[in-house]
Structure 1
């Protein structure tokens, strides 16, 4: 029998449907049919062991233990994923061939191969490449099985494995090093480090510093108003080659030249260049996860993590969209035939909000349908689930994201939008000044009818903000013009904008723009930037969690700790270069040009270099104004008056006070030594404690159960008082300092006894209770009626049979 191991449960289900396999009634998520048994992982089910998993001493972060490099690399089961490993292990027992149905990329190859290695599988392993979950492509793929142990696939495995282990070494070692050093200089945050997150922190800090150090200057925007026999239009002044008075960006900064230009009108002019091009605007492809995150950030101010969570819910919980963690917008060509069904589902689910579907043409096949461009996953699109009930179950944010995905998908079945793009250059006859104008005239809206009104308005606004001036009068080269007026507007340069989730994500996916080294730039440009669709949101949230960056509404800014961390890390860590070097070396490992061991040795070398710069790190920290925090001396020991140190008990997790001189241990009492739990004063403190207890017991009331003295205590967890019997282990509630109903009797938990007056609604006995503001009231547990206590007697009813009583409206009625 062949055992197919899919990367995810949905893929296993799709394979089972394609080959006609039935669910195993005894094993959830497993299928059998013909010569196949189908099981799955759930993404990664194994993860790298933490340092303390190799050695308990690594629980404590100490520089002297660095660098940490496992002699034998180990994996551990991810919490709550044990059933998948068990399902795969049991499936192997009756199989002679395993077929890996992981995603056709390096990470997918690692995901299943590491499970096979972990379970010590020695049998035949084949590989199937599936990137379309429709039955026909799956059956075709199963007819073309390949050897999983070929260099083609093992190269991908080596590439992903080297990246995983390299990231572990870099992150575990340098995070500990920087964090321990930071604490010595008063930085209490976890100063996390890694090839991606450090580069992201670097981008944010550099942008913040650029804004902080920005010095604005004035410049002049010059526009001319021209008259033509067919109408008037506005054109932008175009400086000639060699024009004086311009800044590095070509903006006019000389006020005298600006003033002179305003004085040339009126003047005769002519059109020296005129061009009209009929152009088409194709529909944008369906969303990838990064595109969806950018658009949702721009339109709704959502964070990357929020969009990922919402999309995951639309996929897993509501089953309204396809797999969301996709890195492409292209679709398999076989999906085109499903268009009519999916469009009908959109129309039914969204009703009047999807009237654009009525004009969609399922015979149109956009450029997004392209098998050659589909990677491990295809673009995010709606499923054919036709259910208005499912839409009613969505919250507002989920519905917004679903609508975005539907509009983008429906656009694939509309023709391109068409417009005339006009460009002209006007020249004044006397002063020989040049002015240029561009215009756009929409001829056919095409796919743009799928845009919502707000999106269409924003699109129009963006065109107005560019050089396009809307529609221009019909003109041609050589036409006579009159320059009627020249207007000079003094403006001021603006600093770059702080990052938002959308713009930071854009920077991460096009990280090559921030790299100077041409080889590294080309390497990163060829890939998908830094991070993946699944990890980018988590990387950003980790930086927020560690206090290195902060969100201020939609803006992302670095904190003081983040800026200090940036300045104290080497430049190689805070730029994308490290990510580029990792990518370069891991591809060499894939191609067999170098070894995993050689790569990890180079990572170790970089780590050791950083550890050797400990003194330099401290020097640079002082240059930044960081100083080791002044140590406040601890309180004196009650026995020998030596300084006490605050420690935490491993057993109770409570703080204690330790004297290293006489080895005494005291309870921590608001920063001072309290009861001695170990040492020469223990017996003395115990005797004093017993004496105080005996004194309290003299006036203590008797326990209703056994008549032993009962004492009042305060819970350290809830800060509420309660009564405890010293004889029979019974516990009672506290009612404003008085004994209340029992909730534990002789060690057994019980419902508090209803010892109050009869309920005015059902006549059951009510229980005495007290509010957080210490106001007593009565509760009927039978009918959920509540009354205030009036000096121990029944007062006004404020809740009747579960419904709050509106006393104000009652009073009005009685009046």
Structure 2
């Protein structure tokens, strides 16, 4: 009997649907017409054992117990999954051959492998176990996947990497959380101070942004525009480019701070001759935006529809599992395998049948075009999120489901439209010895952009840039390049024109913007922007950023649950408790460096360049030092701050410009957390950080919480109980 072990029931049913009938449904499995069986997990059937499983004394939270480091790791059945685990183990023993059908990611690999290990599958049976990789639940796609089975042995390094990450997060999160929670009690903070490899650097990112907003002092700066009229009477504007001689009157970003200097330039150029010193014209092609990864989808939908990361993930999961209208949603890839080009006709046909409004007023998609999205070298276990070939009436979908489907479908259709074509021009002029530049960018062919022109509110980053929209960056920088959308006059080097007058433009620097759902997700995926170390920056650019596609939404929600973040309208800000925690922790715990190094090493395990022990031993040595540091200092920045009860609105004052928070001031005075600007954040997640969702393919935690109960208590507590602790 061949046994197929899926990650969850929906996948199990999809597999069974294309295998021999008639089917006989059992309790937790489906028996096929040929005697084979399909069963499934329900997320993780096993979880890391509670600390008291290693020693009863660990029921109490006490500093002298830390760090808790198991010598032999134990897993225990999840209480809600014991019956299904028994079903799977019984079927494994009966099976002559096994097929691993976990989700196509690191966590999906570990999830089923740990069940096989727990069931003590023989070496001979493990050697013949096959791996089934499914990213589309429609019958044709499942059949294709069944025809491409691989040996599960190929994925041992992937499972080892996932196991190392899981145990490392357990060690770091459990020990750091207990240490700082216990120390927090000594200064009167009664809540759980959860610390995690990803959640804490993310919190640090928000705290630092809030502090920069609070400390921001506006600064005036000035620009000069020359209004030019050609000999043919054609008007245009050119922007002054300050020379080296102006450096004493400029800031480090090249902005002129002296009004008098700018006024002098205005008076000197008014009524003077402008001589053309250089002219350039070039055409620029813009490729269509790549199909979505989960994070890219979450960012775009937050901008356009105002949806939270969790709402996008849950809705996408429904489109995948329930409606079978999109492929696997927890993907970190934005590319597609070339073999899927053969399916493009069916997929495009389904999209046009399901959502014909997407191409209204546009040319028909050209299936002969092959965009840069089709790249085998950039596709591993899973590919970008795209529509499936299923045809369905979208009226049966919820509003959110319909919005997401159309958003994903439009991005896929864009791959079959030509490049957008822009004509970029630049004219350099000399006026009274000063340099002035006029720039323009004019669309000559809309190409793929025609699909988006009806939705001017589209929030996609690629699309906003392609549309030439400008504005202030999230960090408060001004985008004032002055690129004009109208064509510049036809001039050549040596031509002369008149400067009718100069115009002084007074501007004021703006504070960084508070984070919102879209920008916080963008910061997590592009965390390298907030890191100063070139080496760490490179590592983070080569990895997925801070957290994984599957966990980012859960990590953000966890920080709200803990009372470390709160919402002010659409903005996400840190609370006094969140700021106090960051001020109390060593810098290494609040920045990206450690996470980046971990992620590089975990990738090395996947590539067979590092062993499991080579990763774990240095980590344990560093953990000893961190716990000693925690025990040696009190988190005074948390003194007087009330913990937030789960579900309650975070109390306390929020950051206001000009009014420094007590927690932040205390942290700076005590030197508890030294800061280096935006040196921040990390790369994987907190598998066990009090209901973190790292590795969760369903959105609920697959692993146990930190267990043990309240500090000083003797009762064992479930994760749900701990989460409710004030």
**TM-score (structure 2 length as normaliser):** 0.78
Counterpart of 2:217 in structure 1 is 215
Other-structure match for 2:270: 265
Instruction: Note if contact 2:180-2:630 (Cα within 8 Å) is conserved in structure 1.
Output: no
Deviation at 1:463, TM superposition (A): 4.5
The 3-state SS of whatever aligns with 2:316 is helix
- Report 1 or 2 for greater relative contact order, CA contacts < 8 Å, sequence distance ≥ 6: 2
Select which of 148, 153, 156 maps to 1:154.
156
Matched, 1:361 2:366: yes
Residue 551 of structure 1 pairs with residue 558 of structure 2: no
Cα distance in 2 for residues equivalent to 1:315 and 1:120: 33
1:403-436 C-alpha deviation (Å, 9 max, x unpaired): 21222122122222212111221222xx111111
Q: 1:467 aligns with which of 482, 485, 492?
A: 482
> Which range moved further: 609-618 or 276-285?
609-618
Distance 1:599 1:322, change over 3 A: closer
Among 303, 307, 329, the alignment partner of 2:308 is: 303
Alpha carbons 1:169, 1:603 under 8 Å: kept: no
The answer to whether structure 1 residue 165 and structure 2 residue 167 are counterparts is yes
CA contact (8 A) 1:225 1:232 kept: yes
**Aligned Cα RMSD in Å?**
3.3
Contact 2:198 2:547 in 1 (8 A): yes
Give the match's secondary structure for 1:477: coil
Q: CA deviation at 1:93?
A: 2.8
Q: 1:100 to 1:475 in 2, by over 3 A?
A: same
Equivalent residue for 1:487?
503
Q: Which moved more, 1:578-587 or 1:167-176?
A: 578-587
Paired with 2:190 and 2:540, the residues of 1 have a C-alpha distance of: 34
Matches within 5 A, 1:81-480: 81-82=81-82, 84-103=84-103, 105-122=105-122, 123-125=124-126, 126-128=129-131, 130=133, 133=136, 147-149=151-153, 153-228=155-230, 229=232, 231-244=234-247, 245-263=249-267, 264-350=269-355, 352=357, 355=360, 359-388=364-393, 391-428=394-431, 431-451=432-452, 453-455=454-456, 459=464, 460=467, 462-463=469-470, 467-478=482-493, 479-480=495-496
1 or 2, which has the higher strand percentage? 1
Shift of 1:48: 1.6
Give the Cα–Cα distance (whole angstroms) in 2 for the partners of residues 81 and 418 of structure 1.
Answer: 56
Does the Cα contact within 8 Å between 1:226 and 1:234 map onto a contact in 2? yes
3-state SS of 1:503 partner: helix
- C-alpha separation in 2, matches of 1:593 and 1:348: 49
Q: 1:310 to 1:590 in 2, by over 3 A?
A: closer
Q: CA deviation at 1:448?
A: 1.3
CA, structure 1 residues 376+537, in 2 after alignment: closer, same or farther (shift >3 Å)?
same
Deviation at 1:209, TM superposition (A): 1.3
Contact 2:515-2:571 at 8 Å conserved across structures: yes
- CA offsets, 1:465-501, max 9 Å, x none? 6532112234233232221121111111112111112
Q: Which runs of 5+ in 2 are unaligned?
A: 472-478, 640-662, 670-711, 717-726
Q: 3-state SS of the aligned residue for 1:605?
A: helix
Work out which of the residue numbers 504, 516, 535 in structure 1 matches 2:532: 516
| Residues 279-332 of structure 1 deviation map (CA, whole Å, 9 limit, x = unaligned) | 222111121110011111212322211211222222233333222111112223
Change (3 A) 1:91 1:309: same
Deviations 1:191-222 (A, max 9, x none): 11111111101111111111212222110021
Q: 1:369 Cα deviation (Å)?
A: 2.5
Indicate the SS of the match to 2:280.
strand
**How much does 1:7 deviate?**
3.8
TM-superposed CA distance for 1:539, in Å, is: 0.7
Moved more, 587-596 or 178-187: 587-596
Shift of residue 38, structure 1, vs aligned partner: 4.0
2: CA distance, partners of 1:438 / 1:649: 71
How far apart are residue 139 of structure 1 and its match?
Answer: 7.0
Conserved 8 A contact 1:418-1:444? yes
Q: Which residue of 1 aligns with 2:542?
A: 526
Q: Equivalents in 2 of 1:4, 1:409: separation in Å?
A: 32
Report Cα offsets for 1:241-272 as digits up to 9, x if no partner: 44332110001111121011111211111222
State which structure, 1 or 2, has the greater radius of gyration over its C-alpha atoms.
1
Q: The residue matched to 1:618 in structure 2 has which SS?
A: coil
CA distance in structure 2 between the partners assigned to 1:457 and 1:373 by the alignment: 27
Residue 506 in structure 1 maps to residue 519 in structure 2: no
Per-residue deviation, 1:33: 6.7
Deviation at 1:8, TM superposition (A): 4.6
1:655-666 equivalences in 2 (<5 Å): none
Change (3 A) 1:242 1:114: farther
Match 2:595 to one of 579, 583, 590: 579
Using the alignment, how far apart are the partners of 2:31 and 2:427 within structure 1?
67
Moved more, 419-428 or 539-548: 419-428
Change over 3 Å in CA distance of 1:593–1:329 after alignment to 2: closer
Specify whether residues 127 and 548 from structure 1 end up closer, same or farther in structure 2 by C-alpha distance, changes over 3 A only: same
